[in-house]
Structure 1
């Protein structure tokens, strides 16, 4: 009996060992985390094949030793913790999968926050395999991606050729402006129906890590707003808008409805919010919390009822908006000793597009945007 029991146990162990040996090695080649462990580090953006690391002026660009996490079992070269010279531009890191059959190159750029400003002309766009990404040129002539849109999510769920956010030559100045157009959706994610895609453009990033089941949580809204940039006072820029019809929405039974009786509206706003000191790289507001989070300290919202005060006619059919930031009581002085601050800028062709409501064809064009601060 005892020998039989030992035989059975040995079979189980051998079977388990066989299962472990038969398990395929990982083929993923992702950089999951890229940080610099000193006081200069602020935030990291990991894109498809690009990594942007944002730092303060305390950084020694010639001697940076980033700590990197990659997909389980994968290797990276140069290796994590090795000192690199970023003073001459980007450095290529290569990730090799656990099974050794796949590799991916990442261009890593370290960006000083002081090389950025809050004036945006929307002139620089990069064509990906499916859509356009807006880029910003730093004072050091480096193109970085500080803005994002809903395009990545739409590419994931729709696999279409039409995307609601793109450049247009219908600009206020320069060659290009940003064009946001509400498109028909006809997509479902589980129990969630998405009858329209609102055009959107926001200062922040889009991440599928939160799961596409709730698209609004994929928005990581806001970029670090350093103390040297000053206190935001006024949000200004130029826009033109065309209302689209019909207006599409979901009724209480989750059925798609359309009407010409509801007039679509656009959305333009900027928000300043605070996060615990040193936590800016991992604390965000999203498409749900951006409206009423207790972290918000100031807002500058375009509203139809105050448009007569904030809007003035401009050339080429554009309208200039000039919106003051309104600070919450007790937040009129920014406390950088206890908090870091992040700035959000948001544009959408359909105001309620985050609730999958909007007029098909509604088009918002924006250009020459600026956040004016007291420094």
Structure 2
């Protein structure tokens, strides 16, 4: 008995030491949230995998800003939180994980530009370790402005070794050269299919995306601050090919169903907090003032560029007041029911030269 106790006493320290060595250090190096005084903001900060954008009012002094960042547990950020910097041009912050090996470089920018009313989709870059494309515009100070978001960053978890051109949202050749926005409905993975997410429709929208594993429709945040007149209509050029079989969220074929695409815009009233609409809005948000949605008769499959224009229609009981603050959402998808994981694999929508038309 004494011998057994001796052996236990001898082995225990090694087991304890082994447990300490086996305990892995954190490798996360993310900016989770970002903060500046709320009275400066036009909308919530837009955080991507490599950037943080503060959309602020035009009277904000950009030369003396000291944003605060919530980062991954046990990580560090350089320069430290609260450092005063001149954000008339974008600045770089580096987040280092606890293991001191993993780092992420974030571009921090303050944007006072008004929302554009015309997009050519000519500017796109590879992001997240060159996994997928992200569209941007060029701001007045020369910085990249990320008006457009997609669900690509959520698809990363099931993408495996997919190339950027196999992601739901990617680039195609534009109508007059350059890029166009390409959205395609793709299969996710057997694991995702088993949990009711068998397909991912390509999408592109004004706003931001942050993965919500518990409710995927809460991952998309539609809308950016808008100032200007009430638009008359939306005009764009597109190509569309529908996949052969529409499948539902259980990956069962929907008999007789034919896939189609969707493009719509919503102008809605601004508010101080949560100044966006989630993907489950279903056009029922009480703040909606005017909606433009491509009608069924214009959703025509075509392999050639086709120009379409469809009007904004006022919501019953609402009026447009140019003295008020508004938010604009523009949303495009390769499968009209893609938000509910229903669509045809292979459905492809390509859009170029989208603009708002005014009287």
- TM-score bucket (shorter structure): 0.7 to 0.9
Match of 1:45 in 2: 46
Q: 1:180 to 1:72 in 2, by over 3 A?
A: closer
Q: Is the 8 A contact 1:158 1:187 kept in 2?
A: no
The reply to whether residue 294 of structure 1 matches residue 297 of structure 2 is no
Q: Which structure 2 residues correspond to residues 265-344 of structure 1 after superposition, within 5 A?
A: 265-276=260-271, 278-279=272-273, 282-305=274-297, 307=298, 317-334=304-321, 340-344=325-329
Match of 2:9 in 1: none
In 1, the alpha carbon distance for the partners of 2:276 and 2:41 equals 17
Match of 1:365 in 2: 350
Match of 2:80 in 1: 79
1:31 offset after TM fit, Å? 2.1
- Structure 1 stretch displaced more, 28-37 or 67-76: 67-76
Q: 1:342 to 1:318 in 2, by over 3 A?
A: same
Q: Is the 8 A contact 1:34 1:68 kept in 2?
A: yes
Deviation string 1:326-354 (CA, Å, 9 cap, x unpaired) is: 122332123765xx422111111111112
Q: Is the 8 A contact 1:220 1:285 kept in 2?
A: yes
> Gapped runs of 5+ residues in structure 1?
1-18
Secondary structure at the aligned position of 1:193 is classed as coil
In 1, the alpha carbon distance for the partners of 2:322 and 2:107 equals 35
Match of 1:15 in 2: none
Match of 2:202 in 1: 199
Secondary structure at the aligned position of 1:202 is classed as strand
Match of 2:234 in 1: 235
Deviation string 1:189-210 (CA, Å, 9 cap, x unpaired) is: 49632332222111111111x2
- For the aligned residue pairs, the C-alpha RMSD in angstroms reads 3.0
Secondary structure at the aligned position of 1:319 is classed as strand
How many residues matched? Answer: 333
Q: Is the 8 A contact 1:86 1:109 kept in 2?
A: yes
In 2, the alpha carbon distance for the partners of 1:291 and 1:96 equals 42
TM-score, scaled relative to structure 2: 0.82
Q: 1:27 to 1:355 in 2, by over 3 A?
A: closer
Q: Is the 8 A contact 2:245 2:253 kept in 1?
A: no
Q: 1:124 to 1:299 in 2, by over 3 A?
A: same
In 1, the alpha carbon distance for the partners of 2:244 and 2:176 equals 29
> Gapped runs of 5+ residues in structure 2?
1-18
